[in-house]
């Protein structure tokens, strides 16, 4: 991962953060643009060669047409559609063509398929800007400000997903004192690195080597421990990356959204998703759930909207049937929780009831992780062995 490399810190982060603070106000956004472009070119080329590096043209094209976005403009629709199409082509072409043609895709399969660096995150930011410009919820900003928004490299790879209306005032504001920002930023980066190296990587050495043979011969207790270990690993891994991104942004004097807030301690699945990958949850609510009608529609439609949102969440995480099933699992949990509250009201504040609800939420969330990290055949075998021995 990029955040584990010396190049990230010594070539990009520290020089960019120092120059950003030293540069005149009129040039600060261009410091971000130059370093963000260089960051994308360097790591894209190292991962996918020249074709990966050329994907920088996506940013340039998006930036050009973003200058045409006006409230209720058709160009905003173009921006929204191109964001969906870009993500669809690069991330889902082979998956959906495989479904449509039952796997017989020799003529239409993209043999050289690759994922541009950070595409899942920056296309959501493209989409958000076009949508909000259409609804007149955010100002256009200058070309430099928009480029700085999408090329801000600390959040490009693993989020958090930014909002333009939140990010723009921070670009225009004079950076706060170096001492406080750098103390807290470096501390946050170190916390993220500890999570990554001392927890996630150690657990990965065990969790990522589980295969069909291991599942067939493993004791049920080993499978339970594996599931719990993977739950701890993915939390430490993803929240660690978020910590590094948030800490990196703080070196610039810029605060980006928090992404995790102790999700495993929450007392129901709704509160879990309000604390897990927070920027994605809020994005899905604003740009999928509410446009579908949110909670203003009939009761059956509300439950359907919830499930659709989580199916989108599953697909966003990965192109595979297993991710769809994982999203469906969480959609059903959220719909079930809403139905429970409708008939039983707010949960009891009794300490035993609170503990039980927290434990149940923890178990249900961790029970879904095998769908997230295994193909469907392996996950099915895992659950069969876990439930029936």
Candidates 201, 93, 13; CA nearest to 5 is 13
Q: How far apart are CA 191 and CA 208, in angstroms?
A: 23
Give residue for tokens 């058709």: 74
Cβ neighbours of residue 214 under 8 Å, at least 6 residues apart?
Answer: none
Active-site entry in 213, 277, 317, 337: 317
For the question of residue 128 being annotated catalytic, the response is no
> Which DSSP state fits 374?
S
Residue 68 — φ and ψ, nearest 5°? Answer: -95, -5
- For the chain, how big is the Rg over CA atoms in Å? 22
Q: How far apart are CA 376 and CA 389, in angstroms?
A: 18
Q: How far apart are CA 340 and CA 338, in angstroms?
A: 5
Q: How far apart are CA 369 and CA 203, in angstroms?
A: 15
Report the residue count for the chain: 389
Cβ neighbours of residue 342 under 8 Å, at least 6 residues apart?
Answer: none
Rounded to 5°, angle at Cα 374 from 370 and 378 = 95
Assigned token pair, 178: 């170096």
Q: How far apart are CA 154 and CA 118, in angstroms?
A: 11
- DSSP states along 252-295: TT-------S-GGG-SSHHHHHTTSSHHHHHHHIIIIITTTTTT
Q: Report, as residue numbers or ranges, the catalytic residues.
A: 317
């Amino acid at each position: 991962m990029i955040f584990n490399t010396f190049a990230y810190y010594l070539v990009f982060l520290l020089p960019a953060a120092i120059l950003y603070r030293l540069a005149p106000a009129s040039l600060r956004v261009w410091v971000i643009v130059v370093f963000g472009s260089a960051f994308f070119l360097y790591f894209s080329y190292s991962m996918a060669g020249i074709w990966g590096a050329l994907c920088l043209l996506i940013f340039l094209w998006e930036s050009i047409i973003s200058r045409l976005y006006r409230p209720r403009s058709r160009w905003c629709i173009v921006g929204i559609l191109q964001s969906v199409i870009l993500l669809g082509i690069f991330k889902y072409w082979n998956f959906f063509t495989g479904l449509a043609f039952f796997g017989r895709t020799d003529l239409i399969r993209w043999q050289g398929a690759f994922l541009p660096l950070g595409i899942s995150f920056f296309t959501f930011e493209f989409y958000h800007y076009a949508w909000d410009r259409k609804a007149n919820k955010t100002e256009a900003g200058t070309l430099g400000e928009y480029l700085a928004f999408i090329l801000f490299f600390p959040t490009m790879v693993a989020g958090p997903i930014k909002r333009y209306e939140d990010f723009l005032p921070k670009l225009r504001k004079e950076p706060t004192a170096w001492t406080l920002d750098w103390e807290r930023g470096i501390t946050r980066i170190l916390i993220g690195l500890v999570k990554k190296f001392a927890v996630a990587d150690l657990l990965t050495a065990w969790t990522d080597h589980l295969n069909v043979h291991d599942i067939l011969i493993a004791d049920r207790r080993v499978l339970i421990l594996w599931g719990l270990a993977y739950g701890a690993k993915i939390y430490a891994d993803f929240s660690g990356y978020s910590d590094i991104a948030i800490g990196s942004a703080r070196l610039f004097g810029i605060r980006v959204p928090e992404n995790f807030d102790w999700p495993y301690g929450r007392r129901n699945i709704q509160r879990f998703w309000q604390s897990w990958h927070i920027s994605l949850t809020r994005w899905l609510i604003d740009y999928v759930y509410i446009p579908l009608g949110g909670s203003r529609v009939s009761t059956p439609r509300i439950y359907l909207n919830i499930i659709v949102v989580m199916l989108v969440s599953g697909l966003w995480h990965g192109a595979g049937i297993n991710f769809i099933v994982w999203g469906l699992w969480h959609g059903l949990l959220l719909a079930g929780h809403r139905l429970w509250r409708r008939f039983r009201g707010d949960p009891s504040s009794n300490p035993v009831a609170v503990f039980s609800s927290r434990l149940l939420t923890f178990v249900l969330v961790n029970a879904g992780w095998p769908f997230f990290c295994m193909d469907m055949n392996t996950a099915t075998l895992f659950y069969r062995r876990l439930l029936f021995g």
